[in-house]
Structure formats: structure tokens, C-alpha cells
């Protein structure tokens, strides 16, 4: 399994050397002072990002995932110029973010998931007017972009509503518009669907797909929601403990993690474990309810059909593997390999 | 007994919460010390010019300054205690949750504020006071009785101070925003408590009026009790009377506010 | 000329963001009115305190009421201007703790301008107004033989004083990057400073005066030049030209504070905290 690290996926391999976003052995080391006693402090170096290399081509849409504290946001902060790398080479659109932060700002858009940059007490459109002037967006372009974005994200009726009165989903859409008014070539999204209802989630995803397809905007998103990745990204990168664990196609990730989905079956009554065709198998029984694990890469349909034919079925549901589970699995396999 | 334990726990929570702001506490100690030094020099010049102003001698004036710096955060004289959190909860509507809690709203917040005051006293008030005692001549009692009476007036002062700020916080139910009220709290707190000049030194009829307002219970009374300038019993009665009156007013306003929340549905 | 470009860009961004805050504050009109009145009163009470003192005495440290009012008016007006322009920098620590400081770093405008304009509040005009009124009264009441240099020193003091206090605010903001919860230390130098300068230098111990003249040169806001205008001796020996040195001191303070800010920002960007 160790071979996965550092390999580039199908999309990433093309046009080596001309990446739009390029990282070469990028590191970020923090010095942490920890209290160990009454007056004693211990200095310790924490490697938040440990020699990461990857490149993203113009127009790619990439998922950047990993557990909390894995180094995701540190990477994003280095890509946006907020943090200076401790070592390595980093370029976005040919610009060194830490040296030319303000020049880069014109070419990137950033949405921080739970932190709105909109003005709480003012109508939504006021925040956009500020962007218009702060980014010196030409009038015609501003108007055109605003009309298009507002229409795509269905915010037309809300432009004159104070931001504090917007729902979480509306605010997130509002933030995405604010990040795109100046036509950035690359968009960083940090947990863009966190806390949103199903309708808002699908609207945001649909919009991002269109943005990527029609405008060719490069999108890099971090998320905890595997569905975000499944529906949006051909390519996914997994980071943990500051290292790039995987870089490739999503299906590859399922294989790499050998992850499984779960079929939850409710039968009419308590029965002995269902005899399912391998590799599917019963992993848990609780009264009339049984849990079956089967590979994430396989369709659930044949399994469902077979159970429905042979057992008194009342209800069933399929649970997707979550990212943490996939990563945990990857680790387990690594340890035994 | 059970509810007594509840409020003790709330007070302990208030103490602990402020105890976590270490850097802020150190910064506060520094700032209070600097202000104390500035004020001490101006008071010394003033008392040089007019000895026995307000019935104080120079050492008493100096003591008054450092007591003011000691009680500044303890009594949240310019605001910034429990009422700050309460205003925020009212503004965001989270107050509705508090109303359904099986505890008395006013006592709940009072307990938390007492815990805060105790921490501010120990963590932030004592050091500037000790600094003052070390570098400037002060008039401190040597017997136990005035110190014991001082502790009682401090407790009463804490309650009066809370009662004033509680009333102010409840006004946010109607104003929707605490900025203006905070400003008023700050103005009245600093001036009428005698942070600028001891209320004893206020001239004429203005002085008479200022000395019977509730703010007089905050700094002037504890200072006079500590330095033996007033009969402690008289001070206790004055402070207790204001405490009862203001807490009662708080309850009235609280029930009006509660009705309002219920009507609006939170 | 890149420096100049940054300055122009910064001022433009400052104006844009300050405008947004003004409009935000207008959405709570009653509160806005109350805070304007409150601000005027709270600062005015400082002076009422001085009036109360003078209701009991004729002079303080040998200075008359109009002379103290002269110091007061200069100190409060200069501080008021700095407070209006940069007075909300104490929210920087909170912004770093909740992470919203990062959102300022991805904007194409100078961070200092964004931090400076943060929570810009017109209510702070109250302090300037009040200080200017007292200064006006002092100017007509003090017993001074006005010469051209003395008259010119008055606006020079206000402008240089505002710049010196602004430098203190910026240095305080830089300090907050290292000690986020210690924003209050700044108050000792800002609010403490303006309070100190309201009283005659002769009132204070020589060591304190020395510190405020040479270490944190707040004395050049008003003490040193005002002592010259009023013809009063300064408690510690200074060359005669020192009375006219305020603009130089102000420039030096601003340069140092700017450097401190850059060091602070660089440190934040390398440590993330």
C-alpha cells in the first residue's frame, strides 16, 4: 500500500512541469511551546505539513481531504499566501504566494466554510459592492458576473436582505458569490457544504460543477462529506499527519482503502444471519435488523435483489463509507503490509 | 439546600471561566498599576494644594486610589461583567433557553458574577493594591474589625454593582443592541462611583446628591469603612437598601421582559 | 515608489471599509445616537473631574485651570483623532483567536489598513469635539503672549500628537500578534497616556517624566511644546529646540511602529498564531 503515496492520478499526471498549482517538497513546521510544569515549558516542533508535492492543472477540480489537524488548512493557508512555508517550492499561477500575496489575491477566490466574509448588518449587495471596489473590478464585468452568479445560485430576491437574516445555506451561497466576483482562476473552498440542508448542498454542488465546466475555474476543496467528492471531483488527495497519503481517482481511493459500504436490512422477524454471496457478509445482527458489508466499488443492486427474493424484507438502506473510515482502513492495511 | 449548591456551582463556574484568561489578567494588572500611579501623583498634588480635602489626609487619598484600582475590575465599575454575556444572550435570543432552566434567572447571573468578582479581586485587584502599599504611604487599619467590616461592604458592593448592571442588560430586550447601554454604564460607573475623584471631595449640593446614589455603594463606602471614615453599620444599611431596591426593580423588569419573550415566541 | 503605492492603496481600502462600518452602525439608529452622546459625555466627564478638582483648589502643581485645560485639550484632541482612525485595533486579538484575521490576508489590500478600519465608529468624533471645545476655551483663557511660532505650535502639537498616539495603537496591535489576550496592556499606553498628559508634568515624579519623554515619547504630544508655549519650566532639562521636535518624534514613532507591525505580521505568517 505504501506505493500509493506520491503517485499522481490520471488527471494529475498530464503535462508535468506546467501545473497551475505546484508544490514541491513543501513543509510547514510550527514551534509549539507546551507547559509541562509550573514554570517549565517544553519546546517542540510540529510538522503540520511534511514534504508535500503535487500539481494541479488549470481547470481541474480536486478534493483535498483528511482528518482534523491533518494539515489541510495549513496547506490551503500556504497556497493563499496567509502562511509562509518553512521549506519547499510553491507556485500558484506562477506566483509565489508568500512573496506576492496581494498580487495573488486578485487571481484567487477563497471561501472559508464557517466564517462568513459578508457584512452582518448590511444588505447582501453591499458586501458585493465592496468587493467591486476593493478588487477594482471593471463596472461592466462586475454587473455581468453579479447577474450571472446571483441567478445561478438563486439569490436574486435576497440581495437587499441584511445578511444576518439569511439562512446558513443562503449565506454560504452568498459567500461563494463574493469569492467569484473578480473572476478568480482558482477557487479554494473550505468545507463548502458543512451544516447545509440537502437542497442547499445539491445547489452548491451543481453550481460548482457548472463553474468548473463552463468557466474552467480550477477548484480545490476540503471537505468531510464524501458525497461532495463523489459528485464533484475526479481526483482526490488524502492528507494525514502532514503527509500526502493518496493522490488519484476516487475509485482508486475506495480500492486503496478497500472500503466497504453497508447495507442495512430490516426483516419481518428475527432470523439467522443472511447467507449473502461473497464478498458481501453480515457484520452485525440486532433483532430483525441486519448489517451487511460489501465493497464500495460494487453496485448494491444484485445484492438487494437476491435478499429481496429470498428473505421477508421490510425496509433497507445503503450507508456510504465516510472519509474517516476509508482512511482508517488504509492505515490498517498499511500496518499489516 | 439543593439550590444553594446549584448557585455555588454557578459561582465556581464564573470564577474558573475568568481564571482561564491568564494573559488578559496579567495585562489588566499592569494597566491598573499604571493608572494607579498616574492618579496617585495627581491626587498628591491636589492634596498638597488642599490638605484634608473630603476629610482625607494624603495617605488616605493614596489608599483610595489603589482601592479604586483594586475594585475597578472586581466590581466591573465600567461594565464588562456578567451583563456583557447576558446582553449577548438576549441579543441572539439564546436567553429563551435560560428562561426554561429550573433556576432563578437573576440569582443564576448574580452567582456567576460573584464568582467572576472573586477571581478579579484575587487575580487582578490584589497585586496593584499591594504595589501601591509597597511604594506609597497608605492608611491601612491594623486591627481586625475594620478589615472584617470591609469584607462585608465588599460583598454588598458586589451585589449592588451586579444589580445596576443587570437592569442595564435587561434593557436590551427593548433596545436590541447593547452598545448604547454599555456606554451609559461606563459613564455613570466611572463618574458616580468616584473613580475620577472621591465622592467626599465633590463640592456642595452636587456632592450631597452623588453621595446618596447607588454608585456610592461601590467604591466610596468600602473605602470609608476600611479607613474608619464612616460608621460601618450605616454603610451596611445604605448598601443593603440599594441592593434590595435595585434587585427588586430587576425582578420587575425581568418579568416584563419574560412576558415579551413569551409573546414574541422567543 | 512602491511604498507610496502601498500607502495610497491602504488609504483607499481604509476609506472603503470604514464606510461599510459607518453604514452598519446606522442600522441601529437609537444605539448610534446614544453612543455618540455617551462618547461625548464619557470623555467630557474627565474634564468635569478636573473642574471638580479646581472647585477645591486654585492651582495644581502650580498650574492654573486654563493651563491645565490647555494640556487637556491638546491631549484629548490628539488622542481623539488617533482613536477615531485606529481605535478599534484592540479587536485584532479576538480576530486572530476566531480565525477571521485570515480572511483579511487573502484580500488584495494592505492588512494594516483593514485592521485599522475594523469597527470604525463615527461616535468617536465625540471625544475630538469635546477635546477641541476645551482646547478652544483654553486658548482664549491662558495668559500667553502669543507669537507666530507659539500660534503655529498649536496645530503642530495636535497633528504630531495624533501621529504619536496612532503609532502607539499600531505598536499595540503588533504586540497583540504575540500576546493575543493581552490587548489591555495597550490601554495603559493609550488611555493611560492621554490621562497622564492631561495633568502638568510637574505633578509627576522625575523618573516617570523621564520615561514618558525618552522611552515612550508621549511627552512630545503636549508636555514639552506646551511648557514652551506657556513659558513654564519642564521638570527635566531639555534643549530649547526640543519644544519644536514633536513632528520629528512623531515620524520616528510611526516608522518604528510600522516596523513593529511588519515584524508582527511576518511572525504570524510563519507561526500561524
User: Mind spelling out the 3-state secondary structure of chain C?
Assistant: CHHHHHHHHHHHHHHHHHHHHHHHHHCCHHHHHHHHHHHHHHHHHHHHHHHHHHHHCCCECCECHHHHHHHHHHHHHHHHHHHHHHCCHHHHHHHHHHCCHHHHHCCCCCHHHHHHHCCCCHHHHHHHHHHHHHHHHHHHHCCCCCCHHHHHHHHHHHHHHHHHHHHHHHHHHHHHHHCHHHHHHHHHHCHHHHHHCCCCHHHCCHHHHHHHHHHCCHHHCCHHHHHHHHCCCCCCCCCHHHHHCHHHHHHHHHHHHHHHHHHHHHHHHHHCC
* A119 occurs within a structural domain: yes
- Reference A158, options A138, A145, A172, A141; nearest CA is A172
Residues of A in contact with C121 (CB under 8 A): none
Q: Does B34 touch chain C (CB under 8 A)?
A: yes
Same domain, A252 and A306: no
Residues C234, C13: Cα–Cα separation, whole Å: 42
Residue B86's pLDDT is what?
A: 93
Helix, strand, or coil (residue A111) = strand
Mean pLDDT over each residue of chain C, to the nearest integer: 92
- CB interface of B with C, residues 155-214, below 8 Å: 175-177, 179-181, 183-184, 186-187, 190-191, 196-197, 201-203
Give Cα separations from B143 to B89, B137, B140, B224 (angstroms): 45, 18, 9, 15
Structural domain boundaries, residue C212:
2-271
Residue C118's pLDDT is what?
A: 92
- Reference C149, options C240, C254, C249, C253; nearest CA is C240
Which of B32, B41, B47 is the best residue to mutate to test the C interface, defined by the most C CB atoms within 10 Å of its own CB?
Answer: B41
Asked if B112 and B14 touch (Cβ cutoff 8 Å), the reply is: yes
Say if strands A260-267 and A289-295 run parallel, antiparallel, or are unpaired. Answer: antiparallel
Q: Does A31 touch chain C (CB under 8 A)?
A: yes
Residue C122, all three cell numbers: 463615527
Among A75-84, A91-100, B175-184, B238-247, the minimum mean pLDDT is found in B175-184
Inter-chain touch C106–A83, beta carbons under 8 Å: no
Same domain, A231 and A282: no
Residues of A in contact with C273 (CB under 8 A): 30
Q: Domains in chain C: how many in total?
A: 1
Rounded to 5 degrees, φ, ψ at A261 are: -95, 165
Residue C27's pLDDT is what?
A: 83
Residue A11's pLDDT is what?
A: 38
Residue A301's pLDDT is what?
A: 84
DSSP 8-state secondary structure symbol assigned to residue B214: G
Among A235-239, B104-108, C90-94, C130-134, the minimum mean pLDDT is found in C90-94
Give the residue-averaged pLDDT of C97-101. Answer: 86
Confidence of residue A7 (pLDDT cuts 50, 70, 90): very low
Which of A75, A134, A164, A180 is the best residue to mutate to test the C interface, defined by the most C CB atoms within 10 Å of its own CB?
Answer: A134
Q: pTM of the prediction?
A: 0.86
Q: Domains in chain B: how many in total?
A: 1
Confidence of residue C2 (pLDDT cuts 50, 70, 90): low
Residue A14's pLDDT is what?
A: 37
pLDDT above 80 for A123: yes
Q: Does C106 touch chain A (CB under 8 A)?
A: yes
List, in order, residues 6 or more apart from C174 with CB less than 8 Å away: C257, C260, C261, C263, C264, C265
Inter-chain touch A115–C105, beta carbons under 8 Å: no
Residue A73's pLDDT is what?
A: 87
**pLDDT tens profile C38-96:** 778 877 888 999 999 999 999 999 999 999 999 999 999 999 999 999 988 888 888 88
Confidence of residue A115 (pLDDT cuts 50, 70, 90): confident
Residue A1's pLDDT is what?
A: 35
Element housing A234 (H / E): none
DSSP 8-state secondary structure symbol assigned to residue A85: -
Instruction: Enumerate the β-bridge partners of residue A315.
Output: A266
Same domain, A294 and A241: no
Which of C28, C112, C272, C273 is the best residue to mutate to test the A interface, defined by the most A CB atoms within 10 Å of its own CB?
Answer: C272
Residue B187's pLDDT is what?
A: 85
Q: Which residues of chain B have pLDDT under 50?
A: 1, 265-266
Helix, strand, or coil (residue A295) = strand
Please give the residue that has the higher pLDDT: either A88 or A195: A88
**pLDDT tens profile C213-230:** 999 999 999 999 999 999
Same domain, A206 and A316: no
Same domain, A252 and A267: no
pLDDT above 70 for A5: no
CA A12 vs. chain centroid, Å, equals 17
- Reference C189, options C260, C268, C104, C265; nearest CA is C260
Rounded to 5 degrees, φ, ψ at C118 are: -55, 135
Residue B100's pLDDT is what?
A: 78
pLDDT above 60 for C1: no
**pLDDT tens profile A20-66:** 999 999 999 988 776 665 556 677 888 899 999 999 999 999 999 88
Residues C227, C211: Cα–Cα separation, whole Å: 17
Residues of C in contact with B176 (CB under 8 A): 28, 31
Q: Does B255 touch chain C (CB under 8 A)?
A: no
pLDDT above 70 for A16: no
- Reference C139, options C61, C52, C72, C43; nearest CA is C72
Share of residues in chain A with pLDDT > 90 (%): 44
* A44 occurs within a structural domain: yes
Give the residue-averaged pLDDT of A269-274. Answer: 85
Q: What is the CATH number of the domain that holds A207?
A: 3.40.50.300
Residues B10, B108: Cα–Cα separation, whole Å: 7
Residue A18's pLDDT is what?
A: 62
Return the half-sphere exposure (C-beta side, CA atoms, 13 A cut-off) of residue A171: 21
- Reference C50, options A163, B197, A35; nearest CA is B197
pLDDT above 70 for A206: yes
Same domain, A54 and A189: yes
DSSP 8-state secondary structure symbol assigned to residue A57: -
Element housing A228 (H / E): helix A226-232
Please give the residue that has the higher pLDDT: either B179 or C240: C240
Asked if C72 and C50 touch (Cβ cutoff 8 Å), the reply is: yes
Confidence of residue A323 (pLDDT cuts 50, 70, 90): low
Residue C116's pLDDT is what?
A: 94
Q: Does C102 touch chain A (CB under 8 A)?
A: yes
Same domain, A287 and A233: no
CB atoms within 10 A of CB A266: 14
Query: Dihedral of CA A74/A78/A81/A85: which sign?
Result: positive
Same domain, A172 and A281: no
Structural domain boundaries, residue A176:
2-256
Structural domain boundaries, residue B17:
2-264
Q: Domains in chain A: how many in total?
A: 2
* A327 occurs within a structural domain: no
Inter-chain touch A102–C16, beta carbons under 8 Å: no
Residue A71, all three cell numbers: 494539515
Amino acid at each position: 500500500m505504501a506505493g500509493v503515496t506520491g503517485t499522481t492520478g490520471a488527471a494529475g499526471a498530464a503535462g508535468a512541469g506546467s501545473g497551475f498549482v505546484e508544490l514541491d517538497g513543501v513543509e510547514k513546521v510550527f514551534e509549539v511551546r507546551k507547559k509541562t510544569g509550573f514554570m517549565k515549558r517544553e519546546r517542540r516542533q510540529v510538522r503540520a505539513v511534511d514534504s508535500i508535492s503535487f500539481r494541479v492543472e488549470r481547470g481541474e477540480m480536486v478534493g483535498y481531504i483528511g482528518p482534523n489537524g491533518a494539515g489541510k488548512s495549513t496547506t490551503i493557508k500556504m497556497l493563499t499566501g496567509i502562511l509562509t512555508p518553512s521549506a519547499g517550492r510553491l507556485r500558484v499561477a506562477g506566483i509565489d504566494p508568500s512573496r506576492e500575496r496581494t498580487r495573488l489575491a486578485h487571481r484567487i477566490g477563497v471561501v472559508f466554510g464557517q466564517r462568513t466574509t459578508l457584512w452582518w448588518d448590511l444588505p447582501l449587495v453591499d458586501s458585493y459592492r465592496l468587493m467591486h471596489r476593493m478588487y477594482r473590478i471593471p463596472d461592466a464585468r462586475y454587473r455581468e458576473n453579479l447577474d450571472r452568479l446571483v441567478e445561478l445560485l438563486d439569490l436574486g430576491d435576497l440581495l437587499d436582505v441584511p445578511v444576518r437574516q439569511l439562512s446558513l445555506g443562503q449565506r454560504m451561497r452568498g459567500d461563494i458569490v463574493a469569492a467569484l466576483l473578480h473572476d478568480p482562476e482558482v477557487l479554494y473552498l473550505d468545507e463548502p457544504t458543512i451544516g447545509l440542508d440537502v437542497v442547499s448542498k445539491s445547489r452548491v454542488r451543481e453550481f460548482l460543477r457548472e463553474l468548473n465546466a463552463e468557466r474552467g475555474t480550477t477548484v480545490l476543496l476540503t471537505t468531510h462529506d464524501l458525497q461532495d467528492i463523489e459528485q464533484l471531483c475526479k481526483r482526490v488527495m488524502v492528507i494525514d499527519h502532514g503527509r500526502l497519503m493518496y493522490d488519484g481517482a476516487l475509485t482508486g481511493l475506495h480500492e486503496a482503502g478497500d472500503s466497504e459500504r453497508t447495507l442495512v436490512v430490516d426483516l419481518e422477524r428475527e432470523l439467522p444471519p443472511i447467507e449473502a454471496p461473497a464478498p458481501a457478509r453480515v457484520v452485525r445482527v440486532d433483532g430483525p435488523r441486519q448489517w451487511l458489508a460489501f465493497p464500495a466499488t460494487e453496485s448494491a443492486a444484485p445484492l438487494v435483489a437476491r435478499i429481496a427474493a429470498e428473505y421477508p424484507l421490510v425496509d433497507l438502506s445503503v450507508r456510504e463509507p465516510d472519509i474517516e473510515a476509508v482512511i482508517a482502513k488504509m492505515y490498517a492495511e498499511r500496518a499489516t503490509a | 439546600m439543593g439550590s444553594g449548591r446549584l448557585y455555588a456551582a454557578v459561582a465556581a463556574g464564573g470564577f474558573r471561566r475568568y481564571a482561564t484568561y491568564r494573559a488578559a489578567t496579567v495585562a489588566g494588572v499592569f494597566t491598573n498599576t499604571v493608572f494607579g500611579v498616574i492618579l496617585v501623583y495627581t491626587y498628591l498634588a491636589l492634596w498638597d494644594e488642599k490638605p484634608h480635602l473630603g476629610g482625607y489626609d494624603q495617605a488616605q487619598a493614596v489608599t483610595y486610589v489603589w482601592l479604586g484600582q483594586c475594585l475597578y475590575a472586581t466590581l466591573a465599575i465600567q461594565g464588562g461583567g456578567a451583563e456583557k454575556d447576558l446582553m449577548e444572550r438576549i441579543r441572539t435570543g439564546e436567553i429563551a433557553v435560560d428562561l426554561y432552566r429550573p433556576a432563578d434567572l437573576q440569582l443564576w447571573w448574580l452567582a456567576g458574577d460573584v464568582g467572576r468578582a472573586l477571581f478579579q479581586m484575587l487575580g487582578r485587584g490584589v497585586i496593584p493594591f499591594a504595589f501601591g502599599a509597597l511604594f506609597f504611604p497608605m492608611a491601612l487599619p491594623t486591627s481586625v474589625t475594620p478589615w472584617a467590616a470591609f469584607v462585608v461592604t465588599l460583598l454588598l458592593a458586589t451585589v449592588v454593582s451586579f444589580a445596576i448592571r443587570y437592569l442595564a442588560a435587561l434593557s436590551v430586550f427593548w433596545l436590541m443592541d447593547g452598545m448604547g447601554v454599555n456606554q451609559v454604564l461606563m459613564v455613570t460607573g466611572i463618574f458616580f462611583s468616584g473613580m475620577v475623584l472621591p465622592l467626599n471631595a465633590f463640592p456642595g449640593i452636587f456632592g450631597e446628591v452623588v453621595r446618596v446614589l447607588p454608585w456610592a455603594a461601590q467604591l466610596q463606602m468600602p473605602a470609608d469603612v476600611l479607613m474608619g471614615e464612616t460608621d460601618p453599620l450605616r454603610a451596611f444599611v445604605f448598601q443593603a437598601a440599594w441592593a434590595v431596591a435595585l434587585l427588586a426593580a430587576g425582578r420587575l423588569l425581568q418579568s416584563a421582559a419574560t412576558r415579551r419573550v413569551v409573546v414574541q415566541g422567543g | 515608489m512602491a511604498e507610496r503605492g502601498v500607502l495610497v492603496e491602504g488609504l483607499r481600502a481604509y476609506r472603503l471599509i470604514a464606510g461599510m462600518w459607518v453604514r452598519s452602525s446606522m442600522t441601529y439608529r437609537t444605539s448610534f445616537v446614544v453612543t455618540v452622546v455617551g462618547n461625548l459625555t464619557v470623555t467630557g466627564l474627565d474634564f468635569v473631574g478636573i473642574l471638580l478638582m479646581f472647585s477645591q483648589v486654585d492651582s495644581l502643581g502650580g498650574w492654573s485651570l486654563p493651563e491645565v485645560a490647555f494640556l487637556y485639550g491638546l491631549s484629548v484632541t490628539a488622542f481623539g483623532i488617533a482613536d477615531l482612525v485606529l481605535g478599534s485595533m484592540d479587536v485584532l486579538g479576538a480576530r486572530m483567536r476566531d480565525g477571521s484575521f485570515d480572511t483579511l490576508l487573502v484580500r488584495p489590500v494592505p492588512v494594516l489598513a483593514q485592521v485599522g478600519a475594523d469597527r470604525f465608529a463615527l461616535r468617536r468624533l465625540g471625544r475630538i469635539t469635546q477635546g477641541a471645545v476645551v482646547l478652544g476655551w483654553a486658548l482664549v483663557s491662558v495668559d500667553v503672549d502669543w507669537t507666530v511660532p507659539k500660534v503655529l505650535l498649536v496645530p503642530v502639537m495636535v497633528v504630531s500628537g495624533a501621529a504619536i498616539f496612532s503609532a502607539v495603537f499600531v505598536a499595540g496591535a503588533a504586540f497583540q500578534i504575540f500576546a493575543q489576550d493581552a490587548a489591555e496592556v495597550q490601554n495603559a499606553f493609550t488611555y493611560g497616556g492621554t490621562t497622564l498628559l492631561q495633568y502638568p508634568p510637574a505633578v509627576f515624579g522625575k523618573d516617570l517624566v523621564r520615561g514618558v519623554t525618552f522611552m515612550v515619547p508621549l511627552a512630545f504630544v503636549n508636555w514639552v511644546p506646551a511648557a514652551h508655549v506657556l513659558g513654564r519650566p519642564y521638570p527635566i532639562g531639555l534643549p530649547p529646540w526640543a519644544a519644536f521636535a514633536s513632528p520629528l518624534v512623531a515620524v520616528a514613532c510611526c516608522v518604528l511602529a510600522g516596523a513593529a507591525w511588519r515584524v508582527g505580521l511576518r511572525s504570524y505568517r510563519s507561526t500561524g498564531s
